[in-house]
Amino acid sequence: MAAGGEEQREMLTQRLKAAVHYTVGCLCQEVEEDKDVQFSKQSIAAIAEITFRQCEIFAKDLEMFARHAKRTTVTTEDVKLLARRSNSLLKYITQKSEELASSNMEQKEKKKKKSSAAKGERSPGEEEAAVTENEDSNMA
Amino acid sequence: MEERGAGGFRKDTVDRLLRLNFRDGRTRVNADAQLLVAELLKVFVREAAARAARQAQAEDLKKVDTEQLEKVLPQLLLDF
């Protein structure tokens, strides 16, 4: 049982690394066009590996920040705290978080209108599931 | 989903990446936080790439290799 779990974790790690590598490749391509340079395959792989390791730090910090606030769910507040070291980064992330919050408000209002019109055909949970299914098609 | 942009990280990927590293199995990430971490990771990658590109240009190179990345890595990690 424990060995099986280990193996599964290893497989998940490999898949996630591949997904990160793919996305890093796309992002580097954008930078290539922007700055008129080329990235070697090794440098892209290195950025992917750095990003994967950085995720470990991010995850542990986020968990600790949430725990510190006596929560088990990580929120945008924790993410903002993660971006505290650089001023411009913090500003950017704060702005993004406000955008998210305001778009959520709009959606909620739309939902309210919908559900009052047609007494909620789908529960919010079902809607969430539909969204994740859609996104799955992009998994590298 | 429009907010992912052309080449960003997927919300689901971010969630799994984080959950892989949580010590406590009960820890969850809410939807907004997932999107925000995706954004943060995108900035991280673009910063790494842009700084390495700048380093290569300072050395009059057209191609960025790991050597240039190594030079900008310490400051990058201090900033995140």
Token couple for B78: 């201090």
CA angle A64, A66, A69 (to 5 degrees): 110
Output the six-digit token pair for A112. 């309210």
Please list, in sequence order, all residues whose beta carbon lies within 8 angstroms of the beta carbon of residue A68, skipping any fewer than 6 positions away.
Answer: none
* Residue A71 confidence (pLDDT): 96
Chain A touched by B13 (CB under 8 Å): yes
A2 burial via Cβ count (<10 Å: 0-12, 13-18, 19+): exposed
A50 touches chain B (CB under 8 A): yes
Q: Does residue A132 have a pLDDT over 50?
A: no
Task: Write the ipTM.
Answer: 0.91
Give 3-state DSSP helix, strand, coil % of chain A, rounded to 5: 80, 5, 15
* Partners of residue A100 in chain B, C-beta under 8 Å: 3, 32, 35-36
Quick one: closest CA in B to A40, which residue?
Answer: B65
User: Is the separation of the CB atoms in B34 and B11 below 8 Å?
Assistant: yes
What would the pLDDT profile of A78-117 be if each residue is shown by its tens digit?
999 999 999 999 999 999 999 999 998 888 888 877 777 6
CB atoms within 10 A of CB A94: 15
Phi-psi region of B61 (alpha: psi -120 to 50; beta: other; left: phi over 0): beta
> Touching check for B58 and chain A: CB below 8 Å?
no
pLDDT at B1 over 50: no
How far, in Å, CA of B21 to CA of A57, rounded? 8
Alpha carbon separation from A64 to A74, A79, A97, B22, B79 (Å, rounded): 9, 11, 20, 9, 19
- Judge whether residue B77 has pLDDT over 90: yes
Burial class (CB in 10 A: 0-12, 13-18, 19+), B58: exposed
Q: How far apart are CA A61 and CA A119, in angstroms?
A: 41
Query: Which pLDDT score is estimated for B6?
Result: 56
Whole-number pLDDT of residue A130:
47
The whole-number pLDDT of residue A135 equals 46
**CB proximity B56 to A under 8 Å:** yes
In whole angstroms, give the CA distance from residue A31 to residue A92: 19
Q: What is the pLDDT of residues B10-58, one digit of tens each?
A: 999 999 999 999 999 999 999 999 999 999 999 999 999 999 999 999 9
Among B10, B22, B64, beta carbon nearest to A37: B64
